[in-house]
Amino acid sequence: MQLSVWTYEGPPHVGAMRVATAMKGLHYVLHAPQGDTYADLLFTMIERRNHRPPVTYTTFEARDLGKDTAQLFQDAAMDAIERFNPEAIIVGASCTAELIQDDPGGLTEAMDLPCPAIPLELPSYQRKENWGAAETFYQIVRHLADSSVTPGPREDRKARANILGPTALGFRHRDDLIEVRKILEQLDVEVNLVAPLNARPSDIARIGNADFNIVLYPEIADEAARWLERTFKQPRVRSIPFGVSATRAFISEVAELVGADPTPALGDTNSRLPWWSRSVDSTYLTGKRVFIFGDATHAVAAARIARDELGFEVCGLGCYNREFARDVREAAKDHGVEPLITDDHLEVEEAIAKAAPEMVLGTQMERHIAKRLGLPCAVISSPVHVQDFPARHSPQMGFEGANVIFDTWVHPLVMGLEEHLLTMFREDFEFSDEAGASHHAAHSPKMAATPQTVPEEELPPEPEVSELDSPLWTSEAEKELKKIPFFVRGKAKRNTEAFAAEFGRGEINLDTLYDAKAHYAR
Amino acid sequence: MNVATTLTGCDAPKTDTATRTVLRERGQREVFCGLTGIIWLHRKMQDAFFLVVGSRTCAHLLQSAAGVMIFAEPRFATAIMEERDLAGMVDAQDELDRVVQRLLDRRPDIKTLFLVGSCPSEVIKLDLAKAAERLGVQHMPKVRILNYSGSGIETTFTQGEDACLAALVPEMPAQDANAPKQLLMVGALPDIVEDQFLRLFSQLGIENVGILPARNARDLPAVGSNTRYILAQPFLSDTAMALEDRGATRIDALFPFGVEGTSDWLRAIGREFGVDTTQVEAVIAPGRERAKRAIEHSRAALEGKRISFLPDSQLEVPLARFLHTELGMEPIEVGTPYLHRSHCAGDLALLPEITRISEGQHVDNQLDRVRQDKPDLTVCGLGLANPLEAEGLTTKWAIELVFSPIHGFDQAGDLAELFARPMRRRDRLEV
């Protein structure tokens, strides 16, 4: 048993729901008790979907258990097919139904249904959401792909690609897809199929018609793409276009694969990140210490962008999905940090507090942790919150995605010039040290006043750094510490105390403070 | 039948509840399971911790239904069962002991620990009663350990609270046989509402008042044959039975929603405790007047409008009664997961005969009826609200009715506003 107060991933059947909900003409018959329908609201509320997820829950009760829950399943499957007339169904069990071992796959096989029924085995007590999505997508592709469909010779036709991975409830999948389509258009590549998002089972049948596959989200589509590589000999593009360099690599890789000229795509004049990053105001971004946590793919990409394209320093890197931990371990080595592979958010919080970063890039949970620690934060990965589904176009992929990333990551920080101005005017009597940066109230340090009515999730955070509770500080050093701008004061305090502990300084006086500053100077 | 103008609580003309036809349905339910009650119960009982023994799905449900991020360490958690617990590689009871020990070590502030059963724990017949007893021996008197089931195979949404409170009843101290008559208010209410009611009881001259659940789960009121209990919530059938087993007697009344519901509820208490009628009227008059004024703001938006309730919390019948008799709404269908005919008799009797009462759910059939009825307002769960809005129906999320203070005179205006706001918003938007 594992004690959990919050989880990064839902159970695997929620992953299956993300695939089913993304698709059209597919229905999921889920053997599940009352209450499992809670998962519908993830899609209708967080993602604001205007349709119910295409899921029929058998809704068995305690009194059914001694009787015929199998019949209940078969009735529900039949009703669903009559009512929704799907091109195919996927069938499976949620955690409770798994225990009663009705075997939905076997039951549907015995029913002689008018459409294909794809059985899913999603072990709820071993696996989680992303794995469930990947397995579901793989099973759908395996069952529905028509092996007689092949692209045939190229000759004069355009090259054709499948874009694999976008699902419902994905972090910016909708917008990433638009950017990737743009790139392919510039390279004169035709899109054979996008899946699971908006694909019908009948579309999946002609998946073999593409010359190659593009996997946007390995967490979801890697398994299927590897099978397609083996079965249909469709090569897979390795680069994922997060950030400017990876977008360039992606363009070059696709261009080489299809024999196209990459120059027009590479010369996209809307790519602004490089100049924005080189402009002098960005100097202050240099070496900002960022802590990164998310799903492996987004976290690794974020670390690369942070270091190579924004000039940050990665001071922590981790992921919650063990299946892809190897990628994170490799990247962490490259960045010279210890990889953090865990699905325990308390452990993540501890690691963030210890690393004392200047910014956090994470999931909605890290945003919450950062708020509590008084740190700026940007969201880079699912699990996501309703505010991570913006109304505007807001991709992460392609050059436009890099533009969006630049803005999203830089705005929470105190702006370069403003940083100097704050320091200059700190002594002015009009100046309130606690006011923080003018452009981002949400990340300004805590005020004494508590907001009057706060929704539960906005409850005032705990004080980030307690007042100088350590008896070690001399009053002179304390005063000096208060002269340090608030946005680095917490770090200065922690560093000084760590320094004092390490070098056995009994008390922290002015010398200790400045010795520590020299020690940690970079 | 419109009784809005002549209504005087229980004396109003009634539809015969015993013969009223109820559409009973069986099929897919679009409701939460009883675990969801933990979200408000843990806030109500401030010394209690709720440990769900379940699966990743249970943990995911709690965090999704709460819709909030963890802002501190909350007083609930899930002990997620894993493959090795099920395969018998470890003894699930030993594992539970280990988890509980760890939890209590970390949270010495916990005084009552509820082990909450879930669908998977019920299916594998993990005996939480036995576990609670065994762990109780170890941890009493510091921590009292109780258990109940919030599983979806046994409980629907608010029935989780019923199961939790029913588990507290055997722990209530026994009242002396010759103890003075005591009023027991039953059902978790927001503290502010509870305090309003306590002030009214005091003005009625009733000082001997117990509350279940108490704010501190360790301060349980006594119960016995001199206890007269009144339900503040319509979903507490098991708790009521457990209280009656201990000798308590129920005070029958409308549920305390709106001007008339709250008046009837307080008058019934006054009658039971022999409070002079003029005193009762004097005590409730200011609240009644305020409530009347407050609900007037919503009348224009609601009067004459047609409303359908999809089953959710069992609050549907009393709320439909409020909207019908006090604001002139026309209930088309009132769906409820479970209809307690005697507890809801008063409210049910005041619903028009043409109102379709349905119990249980077959969500697809019910949605077909909603589409056919085309009500002006549909009260439904979060999974259905946006899809129905997209079809052009105006909706109200049912869960807000459970999470917001809506009982009593001083919340009557807020309650009406919860229904009026989506209607006004629909009229206001030009996009």
Q: Is B220 within a domain?
A: yes
Q: Which residues of A285-323 are buried (b: 16+ CB within 10 A; e: fewer)?
A: beebbbbbbbbbbbbbbbbbbbeebbbbbbbbbbbbbeb
Indicate if B236 and B199 belong to the same structural domain: yes
Distance, C-alpha A93 to centroid of its chain: 26
Predicted confidence band at B170 (pLDDT cuts at 50, 70, 90)?
Answer: very high
Q: A61–B153: do the CB atoms touch at under 8 Å?
A: yes
Task: Note the pTM of the prediction, 2 decimals.
Answer: 0.89
CATH number for the domain including B92?
Answer: 3.40.50.1980
Same domain, yes or no: B137 and B44: yes
Residue B38 inside a domain? The answer is yes
The CA-atom distances, in angstroms, between A241 and each of A197, A226, A251, A320, B84 are 18, 19, 8, 22, 40
- Residues B151, B190 within the same domain: no
CB contact under 8 A, B152 and A35: yes
DSSP assigned state of A325: H
| pLDDT in the model for residue A134 | 98
Residue B127 lies in a domain: yes
- Judge if B151 and B40 occupy the same domain: yes
Query: Considering all CA atoms of chain B, what is the largest pairwise distance in Å, rounded to the nearest integer?
Result: 69
Task: Give the minimum alpha-carbon distance from B429 to chain A in angstroms, rounded to a whole number.
Answer: 17
Tell me if B382 sits within 8 A of A45, measured CB to CB.
yes
Q: How many domains does chain B have?
A: 2
Same-domain check for residues B64 and B110: yes
Whether A1 sits inside 8 A of B79 (CB atoms) is yes
B430 in reach of chain A (CB within 8 A): no
B19 belongs to a structural domain: no
Cis, bond preceding A54 (omega within 30 deg of 0): no
List, as ranges, residues 387-406 from B with C-beta within 8 Å of A: 387, 389-390
Using CB atoms, which residue from B56, B77, B385 is nearest to A124? Answer: B56
Instruction: Identify the CA nearest to A394 among candidates A171, A183, A209, A238.
Output: A171
Q: Which of B278, B302, B328 is the last residue of a domain?
A: B278
Whether residue B100 lies inside any domain: the answer is yes
| Statement to judge: residues B147 and B189 lie in one domain | no
What is the structure's pLDDT at A401? 98
CA distance readout (Å), A176 to A12, A100, A131, A181, B191: 24, 41, 21, 9, 47
* Structure tokens, B390: 């997209």
The minimum CA-CA distance between B2 and chain A, rounded to whole Å, is: 36
Side-chain-facing half-sphere of B130: CA atoms under 13 Å: 7
User: Residue B37 — very low, low, confident or very high, per pLDDT cuts 50/70/90?
Assistant: very high
Report the pLDDT value the prediction gives residue B315, as an integer from 0 to 100.
97
pLDDT of residue A253: 98
Higher per-residue confidence, B336 vs A445: B336
Q: Does the beta carbon of B99 lie under 8 angstroms from any beta carbon of chain A?
A: yes
- A126–chain B nearest CA distance, Å: 6
Between B188 and A155, the higher pLDDT residue: B188
Q: Are B130 and B239 found together in one domain?
A: no
Nearest-neighbour CA in chain A from B6: distance (Å): 39
Interface pTM, i.e. ipTM? 0.92
Q: Is B73 on the interface with A (CB under 8 A)?
A: yes
- Encoded tokens for A484: 């340090």
A24-42 mean pLDDT: 96
pLDDT of B2 strictly over 60: no
Could you tell me the pLDDT band of residue A480, with boundaries at 50, 70 and 90?
confident
- Lowest average pLDDT, out of A246-260, A295-309, A475-489, B244-258, goes to A475-489
Same-domain status, B210 and B258: yes
The answer to whether A37 contacts B30, with C-beta atoms less than 8 Å apart, is yes
pLDDT of residue A457: 41
Say if B124 falls within a structural domain: yes
Q: Which of A281, A407, A428, A433 is catalytic?
A: A281
> Is A50 in Cβ contact with B387 (below 8 Å)?
yes
Distance CA B132, CA A384 (A): 37
> Does one domain contain both B71 and B147?
yes
pLDDT digits (tens, 9 = 90+) for B210-256: 999 999 888 899 999 999 999 999 999 999 999 999 999 999 999 99
Q: pLDDT value at position A420?
A: 56
pLDDT, position A455: 40
- Structure tokens of A96? 């409770």
Which candidate in B119, B125, B157 is best for mutational testing of the A interface (most A CBs within 10 A)?
A: B119
Angle value at C-alpha A193, between A188 and A194, nearest 5 degrees: 105
Nearest partner of B352 among B314, B323, B394, B393, judged by Cα: B323
pLDDT in tens, B84-118: 888 877 788 999 999 999 999 988 999 999 999 99
Residue at which a domain ends, from B155, B190, B209: B155
A397 exposed, middle or buried (CB, 10 Å; 0-12, 13-18, 19+)? buried
Mean pLDDT of the residues in chain A? 89
- Min Cα–Cα distance to chain A from B207, Å: 33
Nearest CB to A44; choose among B80, B82, B382: B382
B33 — contact with chain A (CB < 8 Å)? yes
Statement to judge: residues B104 and B149 lie in one domain: yes
pLDDT of A48 reads: 94
What residues in B contact A450, CB-CB < 8 Å? none
CB contact under 8 A, A60 and B153: yes
CA A233, CA B392: separation in Å to the nearest integer? 48
Place of tokens 């004092």: A500
Of A4, A94, A96, the CB nearest to B78: A4
Q: Which of B227, B256, B278 is the last residue of a domain?
A: B278
The residue ranking higher by pLDDT, B257 or A156, is: B257
CA–CA min distance B168, chain A (Å): 23
Mean local confidence (pLDDT), B272-276: 97
Residue A328 burial class via C-beta count within 10 angstroms: exposed 0-12, middle 13-18, buried 19 and up: buried
- Residue B131 counted as domain residue: yes
Orientation of helix A129-144 relative to helix A218-232, angle to 10°: 30
Taking CA–CA distances from B34, the nearest residue in chain A reads A35
**B345-376 per-position pLDDT tens digit:** 999 999 999 999 999 999 999 999 999 999 99
Q: Is B30 on the interface with A (CB under 8 A)?
A: yes
Residues B220 and B274 in one domain: yes
Q: Residues B377-406: pLDDT tens digits? A: 999 999 999 999 999 999 999 989 998 999
Among A438, A443, A436, which residue's Cα sits nearest to residue A485? Answer: A436
pLDDT at B67: 63
Check: CB of residue B382 under 8 Å from CB of residue A44.
yes
Question: What is the three-class DSSP state of A194?
Answer: strand
- The per-residue pLDDT for B15 is 55
CA dist B84 → A125, A217, B80, B87, B90 (Å): 9, 31, 11, 5, 6
Instruction: State the best of B82, B85, B386 to mutate against chain A, taking most chain A CBs within 10 Å.
Output: B386
Task: Assess B153–A contact: CB distance below 8 Å, yes or no.
Answer: yes
For residue B74, the enclosing domain spans: 34-155
pLDDT, average across residues A304-323: 97
Mean pLDDT, residues A338-357 taken together: 94
Q: Confirm whether A281 is a catalytic residue.
A: yes
**R_g over Cα of chain A:** 26
Q: Cα dist. B180→B16, B175, B176, B273 in Å?
A: 36, 9, 9, 11
Kindly determine whether residue B383 and residue A14, on different chains, have CB atoms separated by under 8 Å: no
Residue A454, pLDDT above cutoff 50 = no
Residue B94's closest chain A neighbor by CA?
A1
Model confidence pLDDT, tens digit, residues A227-270: 999 999 999 999 999 999 999 999 999 999 999 999 999 999 99
Whether the per-residue pLDDT at B7 is higher than 70: the answer is no
pLDDT at B91: 87
Q: Which of A176 and A460 is assigned the larger pLDDT?
A: A176
Average model confidence (pLDDT) across chain B: 92
Are A18 and A167 a contacting pair, CB within 8 Å? yes
Nearest residue, CB atoms, A7 vs list B36, B56, B73: B56
Same-domain check for residues B127 and B208:
no
Q: Is B72 on the interface with A (CB under 8 A)?
A: yes
Q: What is the pLDDT of residue B1?
A: 36
Q: Rounded to whole angstroms, how far apart are CA atoms A348 and A353?
A: 9
Of B169, B162, B343, B164, nearest to B265 by C-alpha is B343
What proportion of chain B, given as a percentage, has pLDDT over 90?
A: 86
Give CA–CA dist A418/A430, Å, rounded: 16
**B231 lies in a domain?**
yes
Q: What whole-number distance in Å separates Cα of residue B119 and Cα of residue B97?
A: 20
Q: B141 preceded by cis ω (within 30°)?
A: yes
